[in-house]
Chains A and B, each alone.
Chain A
């Protein structure tokens, strides 16, 4: 979103990861029904009647980790919109727009999705389009060619903004050639190599009912909606055996501190990440970990924001957080500062981070963080779209609502002794990995004091070796 007004505080809680884990006293996941059809398709139905709107969120276990050419899962997801079920791209867009609705597709490392938001009265018009995109995409050749050109240009364009690409450099630095290090949207060279046939093959291999869940949240009657979906999707067939990927085999942990300096020669500030390996989606300690992260870098008064922004005026915002996947994860501190204060900001971030071990939490700080995560939880599941995404994530990553519903007690039971154990177990203390995007002639000379340095031009293809 382009904001004309200016916001005084950087959004400190970025990831959906955090959103799932923060819980308040009164919050329980609203009642929903889960059904598995004969073809293995999983349906979740969660009625909500506050506004006459419905969200459909279909999720397929097919993300960038399955790519044999970087960007294939992403292009496949984007390609679903290029015409489907006998309708052209233009037909679909006109139908959806005329209803004031939206129909989007997307992909992440581990999943792909089709999401529609529409008025309840329009279910009969929109649901068949969702089905068509999922099961009968045309991958029209002429439209594919245009999309391919746009995506190649978009990859180049993304590098105009360090903030848009720094996560990708960091994944590559920490995970290397493991699938979690794959470029999610591809690289210009790899996207050039992808053909329409690659999309068709990827779609056939992964977009199968037994590999898919469809979540419907909003203003509908469960019995009628279930019947409608069964009629629409009951005849969708599995055609191939689903591939199994071993994600743990090739995982490595960094053997030494490394610094990736990405040169952007007209940069007026340095954008940076500091971190290392994190935790998996199913880690049983994650609730406690997220409370500790709240203290370190998950809210405005967190240690990092207090030191780098409030006390020193070095930056507009500093935060920390975890990205979690099914077999691994990342932890990172992130901030930015004007070029000539790069060293001051890095040193202060590292010094503040070490307080986790040198000082630890005290009872008042722990209590405050607990109150905060509980109080900020309910608004995160206020919309149909947010509830649908939560259920989709439960399917994709294999956690249950118990994880949500027991959060409260886990937060309340967290002790100072627990916090010490969690800090020692899960926050990477050394062999830290850094990405600095900025003006290399100014920042490369100081990089060596933080680890083994590699330098790249931001315009070089890809995101590192």
Chain B
């Protein structure tokens, strides 16, 4: 989950001393001739470093028939290239003391490596090999389909959130590719071809479509030298076609229902369309999600959990390239119906839109963001993730250091206005999860 850890900021800090490495001047950057941008933060707090490679490709770049391919691709990036064949990426990395992972979202595919600094050249060599010369092996594709099918199944088996979320997206978006889940449809996971994969790699895994962040016990000059040696020879590609589809405005509430026999009480998820992260309302929306759902003094906890209507409440505002959803979810207490739970959620939204929030609530939300910022800055992983996320969502990591100002400027009137603008019934989608069949009374 990505709240905007980022942003928060020196300016808002009441702390007597500035935190280390929260100052933009410590981040150095350069752009290779092929268009890849690289950000470096020297930090000797532990004898390790990491690299975060952000590729601007995610499920929003897919179409029916190849849904889930971005995520599948993320798996295939570990399955062999020219110099390092199948299995050798992981074996070589672990042999030199490194570990890795990766994740895919609606907008991004991000590859993370964590390593002792002495292994940095190996990391560059491994990354360059799979970016320039991935070998999409037919046998590996088949076994990886099984892995991804298992990933999909285990998510649905163990997470009610997952089961509801993919259904809610499916009704809230009718045109935009955010309508399908990142993992994709089962039929597509079984169906995409080698050619689909090869084309996808060529289009999106171009150095001009990536941002790399390196943080840790490294020297800027070493990172630059290795990047020039290993990455610069990889040719740029024509920019991928821009996504044209804009989701038409919603004009009335939409509903869906998911039945799962083992669910003990109903779950309800609401989604309201909101603008992209780059929109000026982002900061007010981000503080609103906090006021509604963060901590036991939040409105939903106090008025739903404390009142024994819900066992749990949850709010989520994804960072997003395109207009996306503002999510609220609740799990019913025993003997509370889905209808009652939904009415309680909606009542809280309407109360916020009608009466606004207090200055104390707003101040609290700003303090939560400040705390999160410091926690992100406590580790080299938090640093790389925050810097890179800011770079891709706001176009420049330096925007991280404007964020204090933007959060600070948000007023109680702004929060009330965004509630009135976006959290209204005609803009709402509702997903209900329950054990029994959906039928007429």
Residues of A within 8 A of B (CB): 1-9, 24-27, 49-53, 89-90, 93-94, 96-102, 117-121, 146, 149-150, 152-154, 156-157, 159-164, 264-269, 271, 299-301, 306, 309-316, 336-338, 367-368, 371-372, 374-376, 378-379, 382-384, 458
In the complex, the chain A residue whose C-beta lies closest to that of B148 is: A316
Contact status of A382 and B378, CB under 8 A, knowing A2-B316, A316-B154: yes
Contacting residue for B103 out of A8, A26, A382, CB 8 A: A8
* Chain A nearest CB, measured from B2 CB (Å): 8
Given contacts A8-B74, A9-B101, A153-B334, whether A378 and B48 have CB atoms under 8 Å apart is: yes
Q: Which of B70-90 contact A (CB under 8 A)?
A: 71, 74-75, 78, 87, 90
B143→A93 contact, CB < 8 A: no
Chain A residue at minimum C-beta to C-beta distance from B360: A98
| Shortest distance from the beta carbon of B205 to any chain A beta carbon, whole Å | 15
A383 touches B159 (CB 8 A): no
| Given A3-B1, A5-B105, A160-B160, A301-B116 contact (CB < 8 Å) | no
Contact mask B390-432 → A, CB, 8 Å, 1/0?
0000000000000000000000000000000000000000000
In the complex with contacts A2-B159, A52-B17, A269-B153, A371-B377 CB distance below 8 A = no
With a CB–CB cut-off of 8 A, which chain B residues contact A264? 262
The answer to whether A382 touches B45, judged by C-beta atoms less than 8 angstroms apart, is yes
Task: Closest A residue to B118 by CB, please name it.
Answer: A375
Q: What are 20 A-B contacts with C-beta separation under 8 Å?
A: A5-B103, A5-B110, A6-B104, A7-B103, A25-B47, A99-B367, A100-B368, A119-B15, A121-B16, A157-B264, A160-B263, A265-B261, A267-B157, A268-B156, A314-B146, A336-B150, A338-B153, A372-B95, A375-B119, A458-B262
Q: How far is the CB of A311 from chain B (nearest CB, A)?
A: 7
Residues of B within 8 A of A266 (CB): 260-262
Contact B265 A301, beta carbon cutoff 8 Å: no
Known: A6-B103, A51-B377, A97-B296. A379 touches B114 (CB 8 A): yes
| 1/0 contact string of B361-398 vs chain A (CB within 8 Å) | 00110011111101101111100000000000000000
User: A1, A49, A379 — which one has the most chain B CB atoms within 10 A of its CB?
Assistant: A379
Tell me whether A301 and B150 are in contact in the complex, defined as CB-CB below 8 angstroms, given that A371-B96, A376-B99 are known contacts: no
| Pairwise interchain contact B295-A372, C-beta atoms closer than 8 A | no
Quick one: CB contact mask for B16-39 with A, threshold 8 Å, 1 for yes?
110111000000000000000000
B1 near A1: Cβ-Cβ < 8 Å? yes
Q: Which residues of B contact A (CB under 8 A)?
A: 1-2, 13-17, 19-21, 45-48, 71, 74-75, 78, 87, 90-91, 94-106, 108, 110, 114-116, 119, 142-151, 153-161, 165, 182-183, 260-265, 294-298, 302, 305-306, 308, 311, 314, 316, 318, 331, 333-334, 360, 363-364, 367-372, 374-375, 377-381
- Measured between alpha carbons, how far is A204 from B305 in the docked complex, in Å? 29
- Measured in the bound complex, the distance between the Cα atoms of B332 and A160 in whole Å is 14
- Known pairs A119-B15, A146-B306, A299-B99; A93 contacts B147 (CB<8 A): no
In chain B, what residue has the closest Cβ to A101? Answer: B371
Are B379 and A383 in contact (CB-based, < 8 A)? Answer: yes
Expressed in whole angstroms, the Cα–Cα distance for A6 and B14 within the complex equals 37
Q: Which residue of A lies closest to B8 (CB)?
A: A100
Q: How far is the CA of A309 from the CA of B46 in the complex (A)?
A: 32
> CB distance A316 to B367 under 8 Å?
no
> CB-CB < 8 A to B2: which residues of A?
4
Shortest C-beta distance, B151 to chain A (Å), equals 4
Let me know if B161 and A2 touch, CB within 8 A.
yes
With a cutoff of 8 Å between Cβ atoms, the chain B residues found around residue A149 in the complex are: 308, 333-334
Closest chain-A Cβ to B139's Cβ sits at a distance in Å of 10
Known contacts: A157-B311, A313-B144. The answer to whether A26 contacts B47 by CB under 8 A is: yes
Let me know if B378 and A384 touch, CB within 8 A.
Answer: yes
How long is the Cα–Cα vector from A25 to B217 in the complex, in angstroms?
14
The contact of B182 among A6, A269, A309, by CB within 8 Å, is A6
A146-B308, A312-B143 known; A51 vs B87 contact (CB < 8 Å): no
Question: In the complex, A299→B13 CA distance in Å?
Answer: 40
B150 touches A315 (CB 8 A): yes
CA distance A27 to B295 in the complex (A): 35
Smallest CB separation, B141 vs chain A (Å) = 10
Contacts of A120 in B (CB 8 A): 15
Known: A50-B20, A301-B94. A382 touches B367 (CB 8 A): no
User: Contact between B19 and A50 (Cβ–Cβ < 8 Å)?
Assistant: yes
Q: How far is the CB of B383 from chain A (nearest CB, A)?
A: 11
- Output the least CB separation between B108 and chain A (Å): 8
Closest Cβ of chain B to A275, distance in Å, is 20
If the complex has contacts A2-B1, A52-B17, are A150 and B311 also in contact, measured as CB distance less than 8 A? yes
Q: How far is the CA of A367 from the CA of B91 in the complex (A)?
A: 12
Given contacts A8-B74, A97-B296, whether A313 and B145 have CB atoms under 8 Å apart is yes
Do B296 and A93 have beta carbons less than 8 Å apart? Answer: yes
Question: Closest B-chain residue to A265, C-beta based?
Answer: B261
* Beta-carbon contact of A6 and B48 below 8 Å: no
A164 touches B264 (CB 8 A): no
Q: Are B262 and A8 neighbours in the complex by a CB distance under 8 Å?
A: no
Residues in A with CB closer than 8 Å to B143 are: 310-313
8 Å CB contact of A51 from B157, B296, B297, B378: B378
- Nearest CB of B to A437, in Å: 10
Tell me the minimal C-beta distance from A28 to chain B in angstroms: 11
Closest to A335 in B: B150
Query: Across the interface, which residues of B come within 8 angstroms of A52, CB to CB?
Result: 13, 15-17, 19, 374
Are A4 and B367 touching (Cβ within 8 A)? no
Between B17, B145, B260, the greatest number of chain A beta carbons within 10 A of the residue's beta carbon is seen for B17
Cα A376 to Cα B96 with chains together (Å): 10
Q: Which of these, B97, B296, B368, contacts A376 with CB under 8 Å?
A: B97
Query: Are B101's CB and A8's CB within 8 A?
Result: yes
Q: Is the CB of A8 within 8 A of B75?
A: yes
| Highest count of chain B CB atoms <10 Å: which of A5, A154, A379, A458 | A5
Closest Cβ–Cβ distance, residue A113 to chain B (whole Å): 18
Q: Which 6 A-B pairs have the closest CB atoms?
A: A375-B97, A313-B146, A100-B367, A100-B371, A5-B105, A313-B143
Give the docked Cα–Cα distance between A43 and B316 (Å). Answer: 38
Q: Which residues of B contact A121 (CB under 8 A)?
A: 14-16
**A97-B364 in contact (CB<8A):** yes
Closest B residue to A156 by beta carbon equals B264
User: B18 to chain A: closest CB distance in Å?
Assistant: 8
CB-based nearest B residue for A160: B262
With A52-B13, A149-B334, A316-B154 known as contacts, the answer to whether A6 contacts B116 (CB < 8 A) is: no
Answer whether A269 and B157 are a contact pair too, CB < 8 Å, given A121-B15, A153-B334, A157-B311: yes
Distance of B365 from chain A, by nearest CB (Å): 9
Known: A96-B295, A306-B87. 10 other contacts (CB 8 A): A6-B105, A9-B101, A25-B47, A52-B13, A97-B294, A98-B297, A99-B367, A268-B153, A375-B97, A383-B378
